[in-house]
Structure formats: C-alpha cells, structure tokens
Structure 1
Amino acid sequence: MKHVKHSGSRPGTHTGPRARQPSLSQLRAFVAVAEHLHFRDAAAAIGMSQPALSGAVSALEDVLGVQLVERTTRKVLLSPAGERLAVRARAVLDAVGELVEEAEAVRAPFTGVLRLGVIPTVAPYLLPTVLRLVHGRYPDLDLQVHEEQTSSLLDGLAAGRLDLLLLAVPLGQPGVTELPLFDEDFVLVTPRGHDLADRRDLPRDVLRELPLLLLDEGHCLRDQALDICREAGRGEGVAATTTAAGLSTLVQLVAGGLGVTLLPRTAVTVETGRDDQLETGYFADPAPSRRIALAMRTGAARGGEFEAFAGALRDAVGSLPVRVAGAPPVREPSAPPAPRRAGPAA
C-alpha cells in the first residue's frame, strides 16, 4: 500500500515565516473603534477616512481569523473576541509608543538615565563638580551615582549595569576605553609637629622608612601607594599593620599619631581641614601622582556623548589642584623649607 505524505496546515492557521501579521495601522483603527463604538467618530479621532478605517478593521479580522465587531445600521458592538483582543491591542500600541519615546531620548544627547560608577577615593571630592556640571549644562540628564570599588565597577560596566565609570587609571582592561580627565599629585599627611610637615621639597625616598598607613585591600589607592613606595626603594614589607576602610578614618589614625599616609590632592582640603592635628608635606617635582579618567565600554552606543561629557568635565575641574590635558604642575606657593622641629617621627 502506497503512503501519501500530506503537507500544509490546519484550516484557519498561519504558519511559516510568511505568516501575516497585524499592522500598527490596523491595530490603531480597531482600538479607536473599540473606544468610540462608532466608525465616524473613531475615524475622526485618529485622522483616517471612514472607509479606510473600516477597511483596516476588516483586514485585521481577516489576519486574526476572528470577528472583532458587530456592525448594525445604528451602532457598533464588540464581539466577545473583540472585547478580549482590544485589551491586548491597546497594550501593544502603548508599548510601541514607549519604544518611540525611548528612541527619541537616545537620539537626543544628555537625556535619559546615565548610571555613573565612582570609586570611594574620588566620589566625595569630585562629585560636587560633576553634579554642578550636570545640573547646569545637562538638566535633562537623569544621573544615577553608584559608589563602589574598582573591581565591582568594572563588573558592572561589563554587565551593562553601569554606563560610565569615574576612577583611577590605567585599568588594563580589554573592552574598556579610558577618557583621561586630569592628573593629581599625592601629598604626605603627617601628625602635627612631624619633622616632614610643611615641607615643599620632599624627596620620594622619605617613604622608605615611614610608618605608612593604608586603606583596606580592594581600594586602588592602596595599590597606588604601595607602588609609589616600591619605586622609592621601600622593601616588600611595606604593608601597614593598621588599615582603614576610608580616607576619613585614615587621616584620623594619622592625627592620633599612628603613622603617616598619602592623600590625593583633591582630598587634602576636605580631609585635613577639619583637624588641626594634621599637617601636610609636598613632594619635589616630579611628585608621585595618579590619573583620573572616565571609562566606558569600547564601542558604546553613547560613546560620542560620553566623550563630550569628558571634555566638559575637564573644563569644569580647572579650579581644582590638578593638571588637566598636559597643563603645568599645580604646586603650593613657593616657600623656603620649614626648619626641622623637634617631635616624634611617628
């Protein structure tokens, strides 16, 4: 007996890549009829002619394979299927409207949400400048700030949880583009009366023997301080026995006589200005320094916008004690070295 293979689909179904789909015009016509229950009023509401609207609804019924409305000489009624599908059709049109609005926001630079990640040793000192810039120049930008350590920020950037990072570089991270902003020197913070306080010509090798206080593991500033000490000739046993989770705690430990520490220039006024038990010393040129930059995903859709933002931020930090785009070093007013004072070497 010969077997015959049948092909095709059940009557009333659409299969395959060429199956017909409702158009947005058909959905708009049907939703207008569902809202007004009158063809002439519905046509006027969406700016269509009445014949075109009636044809669009009929075409939608043909595509879906169900009757959506009952037409009489006096009024229009929704069928049971029409009542159910009108809810879905409204939801589709609302979603399309939201999609269009979002696309308009993306096309307009400096609008919508910008999720900015910032490291803790930058956030308290640079965010006031960032916020003034955003409020003054980009009022339609919804800036959302996340303060986290570098490793967490990079994970967030890679996963799409964050859009842009503000942190110390270089990162050496594949797929990340750095937009340098400025360089800032490190300053030695000492207890009051320390032999090195008020100096303007500190050689780096003073770091070889000093009891240096550091941030906890995970902070990039800790790693930077350790690198500076190694470059100054300090041995591998540089790690401090006392550490702190933040710079505010670190300088309080210094004020208490437990040691000295290194602060970036942007943090000095904020962290030492509150305590008269703290003093500072500045290194001779070239002083140890760090570079602060914005970082984005390489090839980010908003890359041009982020580059413009970096340029605006470079201009905005001009009043800070930093070096922007190859400007000459920012130094304290020149003064003769202070006489050495008696006191603990801490």
Structure 2
Amino acid sequence: MTLTELRYIVAVARERHFGRAAEACHVSQPTLSVAIKKLEEELDVKIFERGSSEVSLTPLGESIVRQAQSVIEQAQGIREIAKRGKDPLAGPLRLGIIYTIGPYLLPELVRNAIEQTPQMPLMLQENFTVKLLDMLRTGELDCAVMAEPFPDTGLAVAPLYDEPFVVAVPANHALAQREHISPEELKRETMLLLGTGHCFRDHVLEVCPEYARFSSDTEGIKKSFEGSSLETIKHMVASGMGVTVVPGLSVPKEPTAHLAYVPFTEPVPTRRVVLAWRRSFTRYEAIAALRNAVYACELPGVTRLTA
C-alpha cells in the first residue's frame, strides 16, 4: 500500500469517474485503474462499484477512503513540520472563496498577502459553499472564506467581519431618492436574484421571505428573475429590469450613473463572513497570516471581528 494508491482512491471517490480522477492526478486512466485494482486485491475488498456511467463507493469503501484521506493529511503534516522548521509560512496556501465575496475581497487581499508573506503564495478557487466544503473535507483546499451559516462539518472557524446588505435600484427609480428602505417596501418590486446554489440568494430570501413565494395573482413580488452573478444582476438593474439586494462590499466606492444603492432600515440585515479550515490542518501561522491580510484590507462599511 502506497500514498500514491491512497491518493488515487480519494480522487476516484471525489470525481465518481476513473477518467476524471486520472486527469486530476496527472496519470493515464490505465495506470490509475491498475493501481486501484492492486490495492483492492491487497486488501481483499471491493472499494468501488463500477457502473456504466458513474463509480460509487461500497459501504466498506467509504470507511477506507475516509481513512486514506486522514493518512494523506498526516503525511502532508510531516512535510509541513519540516517546512515550519525552516519557515513557518513557506509554501503556497490553497484558499477557497465563494462567488459573492471573491471579486470584492480578493484584489486587495492578494496584494496584502504578497506584501506581508511573499513566501506564501495564495492558490485561489472560487466556488459555491457546498463545493468548497467538499474540497476542504477532501484536502483539496487548506481553508476557505465563506458566509455563515453552513452545515456543521467539524471545521475550525474564525470570524472575519459582519457585512450589511444594501438595496440596488435604477438611478431613476422612485426608491433611489430614499435614505433607507425597509424589506416591506420591496414586496411589489420586480426582484432580481442569484440562481440556486448561491448562499447569498438564501440570505436575501431570509430577509424578505416574500421573494420565495411570489405569484402574479397574489400579494408579494410581481415577478422574479435569476442571474448567474451579482455583477450581471447589477447591469440588469441598471437597465431598469428590477431591483436587487447586494452585499455591502460590492457597492462601488464612486457613484455610478445608472445605479443607486440605498441602505436598509434598522435592524440592517447582515451576513457573517468567516475563515474556515480543517482542524487537522497544521499550518497555524499561515491561517493567522491570512487573517491579518484580510484585516489589512479597507473593508468599507463592514464590522470587523477579531474574536
């Protein structure tokens, strides 16, 4: 049994496909398949059920893959211990971040990280919360910046900041002149929402539940449209197609000609942004350095959290 074989079975468990797993491991499919077959023969168990279109884990295979992931992490820990003896921050840090935070935090965060810890380059992955959690669990990521709440996966979590929500409306809209807007006032507006899978969509629906049950012939939202990104939705709002709710950091510093951003009335809805990592991750100094790089960002309008 080798670490390489263990990496192969973890890759197949993740991809549910031998070809994609081989590609992820940078080997040919026959090489990967032969190695996994050899491991199954050595253990005298069947780890995978081979279907016509997808590979699945046997019940015993699930336990084996979990243990394999633990062994891989422990082996990586040995390398990290050796690196920390030379430089605790040496080597890249694999950072995940959700789509509705990445464009607004990463530019300044990356600059700060380069200035403060040039020996620790950030390897970035933008994705949905569910996918980032899976990548943390399988060791593809070291840590991730996400918004609470998310399923309890036994991760270590450090709060970064609380971010207020803001209403975005066309500049010529009647609400654009308001100092504040209440969720109740948005009921009859055409609402533009992010598509399913974005946690920020769920946050908005918590603030204004009416958005989730709109109907053309009952009270509530007149109509709802979905978009793939906040910036796409902002362009749709600017063209007069409706209104939307955005996180505070996505509001540009300079006024825009076609969009107006109006705060909510008290209590202002917010989301808590946190840094999460596996409890077994041994590079504590890297996590601390990343948090310091976040705190060094300007972060206008947010409430910083250091506890």
**Cα 1:122/1:163, change in 2 over 3 Å:** same
Q: Residue 262 of structure 2 corresponds to which residue in structure 1?
A: 281
Question: CA separation in 2, counterparts of 1:127 and 1:114?
Answer: 14
- Residues 214, 240 of structure 1: 8 Å contact kept: no
Q: Residue 14 of structure 2 corresponds to which residue in structure 1?
A: none
Where do 1:51-70 residues align within 5 Å?
A: none
**Cα 1:313/1:285, change in 2 over 3 Å:** farther
Where do 1:201-216 residues align within 5 Å?
A: 201-216=180-195
- Residues 211, 224 of structure 2: 8 Å contact kept: no
TM-score (norm 1): 0.59
Question: CA separation in 1, counterparts of 2:123 and 2:222?
Answer: 35
Q: Deviations over 1:270-312 (max 9, x none)?
A: 7x85x511112111222111111111112422245414532x1
Q: Residue 104 of structure 1 corresponds to which residue in structure 2?
A: 82
TM-superposed deviation, 1:103: 4.3
Q: Residue 123 of structure 2 corresponds to which residue in structure 1?
A: 144
Q: Residue 253 of structure 1 corresponds to which residue in structure 2?
A: 236
Aligned counterpart for 2:92 among listed residues 106, 109, 113: 113
Residues 1:134 and 2:113 are matched in the alignment: yes
Q: Residue 196 of structure 1 corresponds to which residue in structure 2?
A: 175
Matched to 2:277, the amino acid is M
Residues 1:322 and 2:302 are matched in the alignment: yes
Question: CA separation in 2, counterparts of 1:239 and 1:137?
Answer: 50
Name structure 1 gaps, 5 residues minimum: 1-98, 327-346
TM-superposed deviation, 1:166: 0.9
Q: Residue 18 of structure 1 corresponds to which residue in structure 2?
A: none
- More displaced, 172-181 or 210-219? 172-181
Matched to 1:213, the amino acid is L
Q: Residue 196 of structure 2 corresponds to which residue in structure 1?
A: 217
Name structure 2 gaps, 5 residues minimum: 1-76, 215-220
Q: CA RMSD in A?
A: 2.6
Matched to 1:306, the amino acid is I
**Cα 1:102/1:280, change in 2 over 3 Å:** closer
Matched to 1:202, the amino acid is I
TM-superposed deviation, 1:187: 0.8
Where do 1:299-310 residues align within 5 Å?
A: 299-303=280-284, 305-310=286-291
**Cα 1:320/1:263, change in 2 over 3 Å:** same
Aligned counterpart for 2:213 among listed residues 208, 233, 236: 236
Report SS of the residue matched to 2:175: coil
TM-superposed deviation, 1:195: 1.4
Q: Residue 173 of structure 1 corresponds to which residue in structure 2?
A: 152
- Aligned residues between the structures: 224
Question: CA separation in 2, counterparts of 1:101 and 1:257?
Answer: 55
Q: Deviations over 1:48-104 (max 9, x none)?
A: xxxxxxxxxxxxxxxxxxxxxxxxxxxxxxxxxxxxxxxxxxxxxxxxxxx997643
State the percentage of identical aligned residues.
Answer: 33
Question: CA separation in 2, counterparts of 1:299 and 1:182?
Answer: 24
Q: Which structure has the larger Rg?
A: 1
- Residues 198, 280 of structure 1: 8 Å contact kept: no
TM-superposed deviation, 1:169: 1.3
TM-superposed deviation, 1:240: 5.5
TM-superposed deviation, 1:190: 0.5
Q: Deviations over 1:200-251 (max 9, x none)?
A: 2222321322221001111111111111102xx6673369642111111101
- Residues 96, 132 of structure 2: 8 Å contact kept: yes
Report SS of the residue matched to 1:226: helix
Residues 1:290 and 2:271 are matched in the alignment: yes
- Residues 158, 297 of structure 1: 8 Å contact kept: yes
Question: CA separation in 2, counterparts of 1:146 and 1:235?
Answer: 30
TM-score (norm 2): 0.66
Q: Deviations over 1:167-217 (max 9, x none)?
A: 111223221122111111111111122111142222232132222100111
Question: CA separation in 2, counterparts of 1:161 and 1:239?
Answer: 43
Report SS of the residue matched to 1:269: coil
